[in-house]
């Protein structure tokens, strides 16, 4: 339990980086190929759901999926960061939901088009309360889980990621300057699925609930 070690998400956010296909079992469940390097896409600042703001089912999709992920908070500006010192560039972690309009994404993928309309719309990124890294007992094997209507539907561990935190930070920094307040969604494990209006969603890290959300 983290108890008092958790705190409310900050409103400051510069950029939102997202990593796709970073858990083998999730890759299998969607029928994708394992990539040679991290799949990186971005969400705008407007994608971040602000604290105390309701989440509404978007009107443009009929197949809204949840994807629970561990999220890093960048704490230091950097470019071309070496993997061996990458841990100095993030200071906190939480759980988040990368909401996906799966029906739209499937159409875009079939046409070889970008995913932004399926992944980067307003309020499509939700994060929980932050936990500082010094407060973690085991920084390399972080357990997390996701409940839909009190049923466990996703369960993951950072040790099962294809690319770990430090590699992701170093890789992303080769292409984009990292700034204080940037967020990195590190990929979702198997168990993604559909959510509908009225669903109660909750995400845990270790034994602590960090995120609760009702789909309206």
The 3-state secondary structure of the chain reads CCHHHEECCCCCCCCEEEEECCCHHHHHHCCCCCCCCCEEEEECHHHECCCCCCECCCCCCCCEEECEEEEEEECCCECCCCHHHHHHHEEEEEEEEECEEHHHHHHHHHCCCCCHHHHCCCCCEEECCEEEHHHCCCCCCCEEEEEECCEEEEEEEHHHCCCCHHHHHHHHHCCCCECCCCEEECCCCCCCEECCCCCEEEEEECCEEEEEEEEC
Rounded distance between C-alpha atoms, residue 23 and residue 25, angstroms: 6
Q: Who has greater pLDDT, 134 or 97?
A: 97
pLDDT of the residue at 8: 44
pLDDT of the residue at 193: 96
Q: How far is CA 35 from CA 21, 46, 61, 186, 191, in A?
A: 7, 28, 27, 15, 20
The 3-state secondary structure of 100-124 reads EEHHHHHHHHHCCCCCHHHHCCCCC
pLDDT of the residue at 23: 85
State pTM to two decimals: 0.93
| pLDDT single digits (tens) 104-141 | 999 999 999 999 999 999 999 999 999 999 999 888 89
Query: Which band of pLDDT confidence, cut at 50, 70 and 90, is reported for residue 2?
Result: low
Q: Beta strands 16-20 and 183-185: pairing type?
A: parallel
What percent of the chain is predicted at pLDDT more than 70? 90
Residue 1 confidence (pLDDT) above 60: no
Query: Which band of pLDDT confidence, cut at 50, 70 and 90, is reported for residue 36?
Result: confident
Query: Which band of pLDDT confidence, cut at 50, 70 and 90, is reported for residue 35?
Result: confident
Residue 164 confidence (pLDDT) above 90: yes
Query: Which band of pLDDT confidence, cut at 50, 70 and 90, is reported for residue 90?
Result: very high
Query: Which domains, ranges and CATH numbers included, belong to the chain?
Result: 7-214 (3.90.850.10)
Residue 63 confidence (pLDDT) above 50: yes
What percent of the chain is predicted at pLDDT more than 90? 80
pLDDT of the residue at 168: 97
b/e for 130-166, b at 16 or more Cβ within 10 A?
bbebeebeeeeebebbbbbeeeebbebbbeebbbebb
């Amino acid at each position: 339990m983290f108890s008092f070690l958790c705190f409310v998400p900050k409103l400051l956010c510069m950029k939102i980086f997202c990593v796709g296909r970073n858990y083998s079992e999730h890759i299998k469940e969607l029928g994708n190929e394992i990539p040679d390097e991290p799949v990186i896409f971005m969400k705008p600042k407007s994608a971040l759901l602000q604290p105390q703001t309701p989440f509404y089912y978007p009107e443009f999709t009929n197949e809204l999926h949840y994807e629970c992920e561990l999220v890093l908070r960048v704490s230091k500006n950097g470019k071309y960061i070496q993997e061996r010192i990458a841990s100095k560039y993030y200071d906190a972690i939480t759980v988040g939901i990368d909401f996906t309009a799966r029906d739209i994404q499937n159409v875009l993928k079939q046409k070889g088009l970008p995913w932004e309309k399926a992944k980067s719309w307003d309020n499509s990124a939700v994060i929980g309360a932050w936990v500082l890294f010094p407060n973690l007992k085991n920084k390399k094997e972080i357990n997390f889980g996701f409940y839909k209507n009190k049923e466990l539907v996703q369960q993951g561990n950072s040790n099962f990621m294809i690319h770990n935190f430090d590699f992701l930070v170093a890789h992303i920094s080769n292409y984009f300057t990292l700034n204080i307040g940037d967020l990195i969604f590190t990929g979702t494990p198997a168990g993604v699925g559909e959510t509908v209006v009225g669903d109660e969603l909750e995400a845990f890290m270790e034994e602590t609930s960090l995120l609760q959300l009702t789909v309206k």
